[in-house]
Amino acid sequence: MLIPKVIYAVFVVSLGYFLILTIYYIFLTVVGSIDQMKKTMQGEREDYSLFYFSSRKPPVSIILPAHNEEGWISDSLQALLGINYPEFEIIVVNDGSTDGTLDILNKILKLKSVDAMYIKHYKDGRLRGVLKSDLYPNVTVIDKDAGYKKAGAVNAGLNVAKHDYVCVMDADTILERDALLKVMAQVEKEPDKIIGVGSYFGLVNGFKIKNGTIMDRSYSYNPIVAYQNVEYIRSFIGNRLAWSRYNAMPIVAGGFGVWRKDVLYDLGGFSSEFTCEDMELTFRAHDYIVKNKDKGYKVLMFPFYVGWTEGPDNISALIMQRNRWQRVVDETVWKYKYMLCNPKYGFFGFLAMPYFVLYEVLGVFMEVIGIVFVTAGWLMGVLNINIFLAYLLFMLLSQSFVSLLSILAFVEGQRLFKIGYIAYLIMLTLTEFFFYRWSISTAKIIGTISYLRGSKSHDQYTRSKPA
Amino acid sequence: MYNYHADIIWAANIALLAIVALTCLVILLTAVVKNYLWEERRRGLLGIKSNIYEFILSNKSPSSAVCPSFVNGVTPQQFIDIKTNRRIDAAFFNDSEQQFLKDCFISPEALAKLEKTAKKSSDKWRKIEAMLCLGYTQTQSAVGILKDTILSKDKDVSYFSMISLGQIKTVPSARVLLNFLKKDPSSSYKIVSILEAFPPDIADDVVRLTDYHDPLVRYWAVTLLAKFASGEYILKLEKLAGDAVPEIRAAACDCLGNIGGIKTRPALIRCLKDDSWLVRSRAVHSLAKVMGDSSLPEVAVLINDPSWVVVDAVKTVMTEHIEASLPYIERFLAGDYEVAKKYSVLALQDSGYLVKLLNEAISGKSHAAKLLKGVIKSRVHSGLDAALGSLDPVMREKALEILMET
């Protein structure tokens, strides 16, 4: 008698969960697509020349941390050297690379050792030396021992950054030429309020790149990569833009993020005590926003494609990456659990945090338990096939609908994919439930177990070289 | 048995299936329509470009009398595309092409239409496009319209009114912007950024704003004045250098530094003794700008300042005028104050004088050896490694011998 009761309870809770999640996503996607439309309109009409030639434009320090990045560093650095921004410095941090990263940097930049003053404001690890480029006066290379993950490398860059804004990137991010111009022109509207900014970026897999210039933008038809494109779209429009609209952005991604340096200073820089640093810093920034409520600080997301980064192109690499992401989510949510439904944190506490707890942390268990119990119920004869199929179809359709809504908003606002590729993404969306979703669930479960076992390693899958 | 309401779930599924199918269709349709519109836009721009070429090749200069008829068909959106090259992936327009189109675009009829749209359109983005067109064509009569739209409750309309006024660049458009600065100081950063590009004849209006009661407005007015200031405002700036707000006093110092000349010195020297470190540091920079190395007797004493920002400013001045600073550096190195020693050595390092000092010491110049001794004894001799590294091996040996002796 107990088993049917349990199965019924799980059935109801699971259906309710999917219903709530679908409604939440629909709401956020609608808000996100309106925000995308508005910001795209603003961006299109912005007078960038006025900004470019103003003496008040904010100069930016770009920090490019690199740990064994010989495959990408040449292209990402050359893309940076060619960006269209009036005043910037590039700080490449060679984070104890054991491959040819430093040699490549030397070849491109013609480095020489300098006896520069280096003050350790932030935790960064042992410094080997500071090098300056003979060819590009605005480029500095910090050579340091590995040991404090990406956070330590970025902190080393922060220690020498001289401008008021800091752009933090990944070594495999190929920045668009106008990326900083578009983002900083928006920051200039409210420089006293905007403390952190993220923007769209996509997957570079399939592109042809030569010396940091994208020669051919062919989006990958590898389903593992294409599914990630759908996920990125869903995440940017269906989550982040809407969160940003309510000043509840919980993550400025490590692939591209701009921060005000004085705020980073107040926050004590990036923390190496977490598996990854980007999400934790953004959560900490929300603490900072609450503590300085009178100043009206904001962390925003913009719908401008600022760059392209490599995504895993096989299932084991994908699982490794998502395992890491899951640990970051678990670590951060646990540390900042007091923000959940805390009125002090406003929309962050009531809109973003419940999503992280219910979907990102517990969601995978809700899904797996739901499927396992309902399947068991059917096999045990508690549920008939009619109910079982109705349940599965509801899961499939509700998830597909949410993804399709994001794709619709994306296609309306961005001119990126050709019609053939859009049709392919639609097809993938309808089949995501059969394979991709469960691969991600597997990664999330492994990630949660690793988190519970205390693992904080920054596992990096083997990267391929750009085509 | 529990009632699982299979019929409800199936009904929901059928509804969802229909919605999903419809959404797929709408996505594909949207993509097709967007693609078509984009192609139209691209073709439109390329058509305008080729028309301009044909017209220019026919050796006609643009004037309202001879403007080609195709210009009448140019939409505000296309005009902005061309003026800002925001659709560079479709077509690029050079300066002369842009100028040609600008000269022809504003016929009285087109202007009336744009003004009407800017004033009355309920479509916000069409309104903004019309406003931008009026701005890019520098239509003076548009100032009256933009004066109203800048006060709009809609932040975008207000913002793009500022941008449009920024294109017109006349005293009346500056007045609208300055008035708005008084009403909404939160936009001041952008307004000042826009007004910097205006001709200097807006300075009188800016000066008037320095008397405004709101300190934030006064601050931005003085900051902006630094771009246009001339000798006639020295008295006013001297008064502002005594303002109750430190940021305003600091901005007044910047302004005085930009003006230069003997008359600005007394106020700047007074500011060196200000209570605020911000004012003192700006006064150091400005005085050095005005007086060059002859500011050193006044400035160098601030090496003992309690604020590191001021000390750093002094170091920067010493670095810029390193030869003239040597007597002061010698004195600081011989003294007891560690901060003064450290910043003296940094000035030698940053100016690249350490290498010269080593070379002079090698060639037997006693004053150089003495100074080097001071550097070594200061125990803050950062930069000597790099300076030694830049010498050839023979010279490095000799330098090391001298260093050992000292």
pLDDT tens-digit series, residues B295-342: 999 999 999 999 989 999 999 999 999 999 999 998 998 888 888 888
Cβ neighbors of A295 (< 8 A, separation 6 or more) are A192, A193
Question: Which residues on A lie below 8 Å from B6 (Cβ)?
Answer: 384, 386-387, 390
A84 touching B (Cβ < 8 Å): no
CB A245 within 8 A of CB A426: no
Residue A463 has pLDDT above 70, yes or no: no
> Scanning every residue of chain B, which has its alpha carbon at the shortest distance from the alpha carbon of A393?
B13
Q: Residue A357 burial by CB count (10 A; 0-12/13-18/19+): exposed, middle or buried?
A: middle
Is residue A245 one of the residues assigned to a domain?
yes
- A54 vs B12, B196, B349: nearest CB: B196
Interface probe for B, chosen from A21, A42, A47, A193 (most Cβ of B below 10 Å), is: A47
Which tens digits make up the pLDDT trace of A272-281? Answer: 888 889 999 9
Is residue A135 one of the residues assigned to a domain?
yes
In this complex, do A15 and B349 lie within 8 Å of one another by their Cβ atoms? no
Which tens digits make up the pLDDT trace of B231-288? Answer: 788 888 899 999 999 999 999 999 999 888 888 888 999 999 999 999 999 999 999 9
Is residue A317 one of the residues assigned to a domain?
no
Helix (H, G, I), strand (E, B) or coil at B275: coil
- B20 vs A53, A57, A400: nearest CB: A400
Nearest-angstrom CA–CA distance, A277 and B373: 47
Which residues of chain B, if any, have pLDDT below 50?
A: 64
Nearest-angstrom CA–CA distance, A77 and A130: 17
Interface probe for B, chosen from A117, A194, A411, A433 (most Cβ of B below 10 Å), is: A411
Is residue A296 one of the residues assigned to a domain?
yes
CA distances from A282 to A148, A336, A359, B17, B300 (A): 19, 11, 19, 38, 44
CB A435 within 8 A of CB A315: no
Give the gap in angstroms from C-alpha A301 to the nearest C-alpha of chain B.
18
Interface probe for B, chosen from A50, A237, A403 (most Cβ of B below 10 Å), is: A50
Question: Which residues on A lie below 8 Å from B196 (Cβ)?
Answer: 54-56
In this prediction the ipTM stands at 0.91
Total of domains in chain A:
1
3-state secondary structure chain A: CHHHHHHHHHHHHHHHHHHHHHHHHHHHHHHHHHHHHHHHHHHHHCCHHHHHCCCCCCCEEEEEEECCCCCCHHHHHHHHHCCCCCCEEEEEEEECCCCCHHHHHHHHHCEEEECCCCCCCCCCCCEEEEEEECCCCCEEEEEECCCCHHHHHHHHHHHHCCCCEEEEECCCCEECCCHHHHHHHHHCCCCCCEEEEEEEEEECCCCEEECCEEEECCCCCCHHHHHHHHHHHHHHHHHHHHHHHCCCCCCCCCCEEEEEHHHHHHHCCCCCCCCCCHHHHHHHHHHHHHHCHHHCCEEEEEEEEEEEECCCCCHHHHHHHHHHHHHHHHHHHHHCHHHCCCHHHHHHHHHHHHHHHHHHHCHHHHHHHHHHHHHHHHHCCCCCHHHHHHHHHHHHHHHHHHHHHHHHHHHHHCCCCCHHHHHHHHHHHHHHHHCHHHHHHHHHHHHHHHHHCCCCCCCCCCCCCCC
Q: How would you list the strands of the sheet with A256-260, edge to edge?
A: A111-114, A127-133, A139-144, A88-95, A60-66, A165-169, A256-260, A194-203, A298-309, A174-175
pLDDT band at A344 (very low <50, low <70, confident <90, very high): very high
Is residue A461 one of the residues assigned to a domain?
no
Question: Which residues on B lie below 8 Å from A191 (Cβ)?
Answer: 189
Q: Which residues pair with A309 in a beta bridge?
A: A203
Per-residue model confidence (pLDDT) at position A200? 94
Is residue A403 one of the residues assigned to a domain?
no
Q: Residue B63 burial by CB count (10 A; 0-12/13-18/19+): exposed, middle or buried?
A: exposed
Closest CA to A312 of A252, A250, A232: A232
Q: Find the CATH number of the domain harbouring A232.
A: 3.90.550.10
Per-residue model confidence (pLDDT) at position A428? 96
CB A97 within 8 A of CB A67: yes
Is residue A162 one of the residues assigned to a domain?
yes
- B26 vs A387, A401, A408: nearest CB: A408
Over residues A291-306, the mean pLDDT reads 94
- B34 vs A11, A191, A411: nearest CB: A411
Which tens digits make up the pLDDT trace of A362-384? Answer: 999 999 999 999 999 889 888 88
Give the gap in angstroms from C-alpha B126 to the nearest C-alpha of chain A.
11
Question: Which residues on B lie below 8 Å from A38 (Cβ)?
Answer: 156
Segments forming the whole domain that contains residue A214? 54-311
In this complex, do B30 and A412 lie within 8 Å of one another by their Cβ atoms? yes
pTM recorded for the entire structure: 0.87
Which tens digits make up the pLDDT trace of A86-125? Answer: 999 999 999 999 999 999 999 999 998 887 667 788 888 8
Which tens digits make up the pLDDT trace of A216-225? Answer: 999 999 999 9
Question: Which residues on A lie below 8 Å from B41 (Cβ)?
Answer: none
CB A29 within 8 A of CB A402: yes
A408 touching B (Cβ < 8 Å): yes
CB A240 within 8 A of CB A257: no
Residue A71 has pLDDT above 70, yes or no: yes
Interface probe for B, chosen from A7, A57, A134, A397 (most Cβ of B below 10 Å), is: A397
- The DSSP string of B40-75 is HHHHHHHHHHHHHHHHHHTTPPP-TTT--GGGGG--
Is residue A430 one of the residues assigned to a domain?
no
Cβ neighbors of A435 (< 8 A, separation 6 or more) are none
